[in-house]
Chain A
């Protein structure tokens, strides 16, 4: 071998495959302002649509007068529910099996609900038109508090459901009831509680918040009357699903619908479902024959398109005196607002909330969820979480701390005592899941050692004593969170959307010169798919990642997929990519065997090509095989080198992690300081550590925001009071704490590359870490649970209610 021959390490590094901190290829255009977003789509003759919205949370619509609006120069049409009825589109189905008004049909059910759609030659004229549409309302009593929604005399919100005693998920108990969902063994669980030595019970609320991506929801719809084709550019996390929904509800042939999701500026679950703006823009384009753009503004995004959470979880744990958990009982009151517009897999009205047993070995558990209507915006979507997993993680992690407090045990110790043990995997949980793999104790102990947990507890003890002596006005909290997620929806046996199984897909085409293009059914909104997908292929087929172009988001060219949300891209599409790549490699092996004149079985894979076993000099690189695929394939073989894989995962994946937050709070002002935040994530095989770190940073920042103040709030009259970033807490770099990240690796045994997904873990695990830190800080003053969000004034209010100012 001469000096020029690259070493095995050099050959591996040249691929920039899995495990490499490859720089994000998409950033080349993003950092130069050259991304191409929906609002960058400008078509000749394009019109603009905008909504007249309801000022009332609950009112009858007596009349809509558009005559003055139509006189505004540039205004071409005003679309109302009456217009939409002519094409049978006044209502649309939601992914959760409910129906939703596209435009107010007789009534409005939440403030800022869409009432009419004004179409004009430019955005300014559209807004001038909006101000001229006269709507006469008769206000009705608003229902804001979900706990009052099932009162016997609560106002009737959904008149369209009158007389319907059952919905998409079974019987309805009340006119404002949507569904009841129960899981687990009630009898066994009740028995565990009856003989429990220790129990705790707490109503733990996860407040209403919002995914608030920086780019709002938007679309451009263009109907070609001659061809009868509809093209939609939109902010879609799941473009194929949108195409199918349009085909089903607009009754257009699916091949004549082209859905294109260009670059997307964040989604976080906000861009999974269908919104009235999409329907109205499409109808407006069909009516006018011109392309129509709809771009939501910030207020509309925060107040009308899907919120997240609003889960009120009454949680009970049974345990022995020694701290071994023996039972879990949870009842959830789920506020869905005016329409159930969850974007969960069809059969899961409360998503995967039954992961609520968390990382602990509960012998039995029972869960009941009641969904109700209120006069608030419809939802709730999975804000950077896999379908109610964030709620579940918060519920169990907060409850474990409450139990530790009652037992007088350290919360970390309580967790270690109750973890599912490594040898118990695959583990069957009391609420029906099969956890694939985990090593919780190792992760927890690594976290505790890194932050010097024992020393922190000592310091806290000293600070508490000093506080009691009146020497300091600061209290210290240590928040521990150990979460287990369930992601990668999902296996066709239990996951579908509108009847379509939740597989995902990949198509790879290799070109003669050793380059290729890969297309998937997923759609990046900032996750960096163009970078990481190419890395999987690079490792699998030995072609440098730089030579693989990744393309997503165009339903005409991409294979059918269910999109990107619920941390499903790596678990599902990531598997499809590996499987498609392996098909390429299998064909490549046949070509190589033919060219090297040996039997296939005599070849072994070696980084970037095939080598004849025992003959190190006889080697054919993948690059050369690509060329051969186009001119000298074995007799009888089709030329070319491409493959498609549709991957139906056998199981979900179960990422986990240990987070620790150290915080101080000034009781006089409620102002907190995050002193330290340590996040250890185990997402199985790590494809690109740098992208993982970026995902963790982003998710932790969201978790920080949510726990410490990010809230969609309604006043008692049903007015939404958090319509801008002035009041809806969006932390800047100044407020955001410093993040320390770490990892362990426990691969998924059933995933082709062992990867589990990480995008949402930090949001899921971060919120309880912050909330537990605040609660831990106050616990020595006698509190057991303080509801989120923990903004300054609420911290002060907590201090006050605990008597901190009594002697002052």
Chain B
């Protein structure tokens, strides 16, 4: 439980941070809230020689509305998300999900950037970002690029980020007014990652589902979009038979690991139930 030795850097501009990461190479890791990285270092599962602390870069923090989008800086904490009126008003599902991340202590330090950049299948924000159609702004030695959240995750802790690159901000298209939303998360206790979780964003028209996106957390190596399940519900009033079909379609793409949260069969089963409950609740709170 004692990390190896490392040197510590605290750049004050994004450019300097990228330069540092590029020149220090593989042995350097960005440090955000440290809630994932530091425990890995304590177990010596990660032994970076250099930590590049991003807390000194003012530009990386903040939430702002830009037309039909909300921009969130990578170093914005989960607590900041909860404190933001903009988020509560225009992307209420983010507010709901952030409240389900551990406890206030964790949320004061855990950052949105670290949460989505890491590629940990247990993190809640990645599936939400996919569900919301977000894109990530990556800054690297050769300039910046945009990657859709849906294209970012390649495997557990494997992402589209290249050496020397930093995730600078997240851009989220604001869902239409009157949309329905729900994030259903089953966990064993406060501070635990999801046994299974499902995000739903939908719109209703004349009592029927008009559009629908479903995201899944911790039910595979990467966050998932349950497209087939979403297709099942479009045009329906979410009757029992449809919900059953949707849950089955979602379960079909789940590939969770067996762990202390339960065997595979259980995690898939409750994954289906989270989808069902999220659909029902989202439909109920849609205008």
Contact = CB atoms under 8 A, between A and B. Distances in A.
Interface of A: 50, 123-124, 126-128, 131, 297-299, 668-671, 709, 713, 721-722, 725-727, 729, 731-732, 734-735, 791-793, 796-797
Interface stretch (B15-23, B48-56, B265-273, B278-286): B265-273
Contacts of A721: 260
Interface in B237-263: 259-263
A797 B266 contact: yes
Contacts of B266: 670, 793, 796-797
A50 B270 CA distance: 42
A299 B261 CA distance: 19
B269 A796 contact: yes
Given A793-B263, A793-B266, A797-B266, A299 B189 contact: no
Residue of A126, A721, A793 with highest tally of chain B CB at under 10 A? A793
A793 B186 CA distance: 11
A729 B2 contact: no
B7 interface: no
Interface in B1-26: 1-2, 4-5
Contacts of B4: 127-128, 131
Nearest to A805: B269
Nearest to A709: B188
B2 A123 contact: yes
A735 B260 contact: no
B181 to A, nearest CB: 21
Given A669-B270, A796-B266, A797-B266, A124 B2 contact: yes
Contacts of A792: 186, 188, 195, 262
Nearest to B193: A726
A628 to B, nearest CB: 57
A50 B190 CA distance: 31
Contacts of B263: 793, 797
Name the 5 nearest CB pairs between A and B, nearest first.
A793-B262, A127-B2, A297-B1, A727-B260, A793-B266
8 contacts: A50-B2, A669-B273, A670-B266, A727-B259, A732-B190, A735-B189, A735-B190, A793-B266
A796 B259 CA distance: 15
Interface in B174-224: 186, 188-193, 195
B218 to A, nearest CB: 13
B195 A722 contact: no
Nearest to B186: A669
B89 interface: no
Given A721-B260, A726-B192, A128 B273 contact: no
A732 B191 contact: yes
A797 B263 CA distance: 10
B217 to A, nearest CB: 16
A713 B260 contact: yes
B189 A734 contact: yes
Contacts of B2: 50, 123-124, 126-127
Interface of B: 1-2, 4-5, 44, 103, 186, 188-193, 195, 259-263, 266, 269-270, 273
Contacts of A298: 1
A450 to B, nearest CB: 29
B260 A124 contact: no
Contact of A299 (B1, B186, B188, B195): B1
Contacts of A713: 260
A670 B263 CA distance: 13
A732 B195 CA distance: 18
Contacts of A732: 103, 189-191
A131 B260 CA distance: 28
Nearest to A727: B260
A128 B4 CA distance: 7
A669 B44 CA distance: 35
Contacts of A668: 269-270, 273
A791 B188 contact: yes
Nearest to A791: B188
Given A124-B5, A793-B266, A731 B260 contact: no
A128 B3 CA distance: 9
A299 B4 CA distance: 17
Contacts of B192: 726
Given A123-B2, A793-B261, 19 more contacts: A50-B2, A124-B5, A127-B2, A131-B4, A299-B1, A668-B269, A668-B270, A669-B270, A709-B188, A722-B260, A726-B192, A732-B189, A732-B191, A734-B189, A735-B189, A735-B190, A792-B186, A793-B195, A793-B262
Nearest to B47: A131
A668 B247 CA distance: 13
Nearest to B273: A668
A50 B2 CA distance: 11
Nearest to B266: A793
A297 B195 CA distance: 27
Contacts of A797: 263, 266
A795 to B, nearest CB: 10
A661 B44 CA distance: 44
Contacts of A299: 1
A517 to B, nearest CB: 40
A731 B189 contact: yes
A661 to B, nearest CB: 19
B270 A796 contact: yes
A796 B44 CA distance: 36
Given A131-B44, A299-B1, A792-B195, A729 B270 contact: no
A791 B191 CA distance: 16
A669 B261 CA distance: 12
A720 B46 CA distance: 21
Nearest to A794: B262
A729 B188 contact: yes
A299 B44 CA distance: 13
Given A128-B5, A297-B1, A796 B191 contact: no
B202 to A, nearest CB: 22
Contacts of A729: 188-189
Contacts of A791: 188
A534 B261 CA distance: 47
Nearest to A730: B189
A804 B149 CA distance: 39
A776 to B, nearest CB: 23
A669 B266 CA distance: 8
Nearest to A130: B2
- Most chain B CB neighbours (cut-off 10 Å) among A668, A713, A721, A731: A668
A669 B273 CA distance: 8
B3 to A, nearest CB: 8
Contacts of A123: 2
A768 to B, nearest CB: 22
B55 to A, nearest CB: 23
Nearest to B42: A297
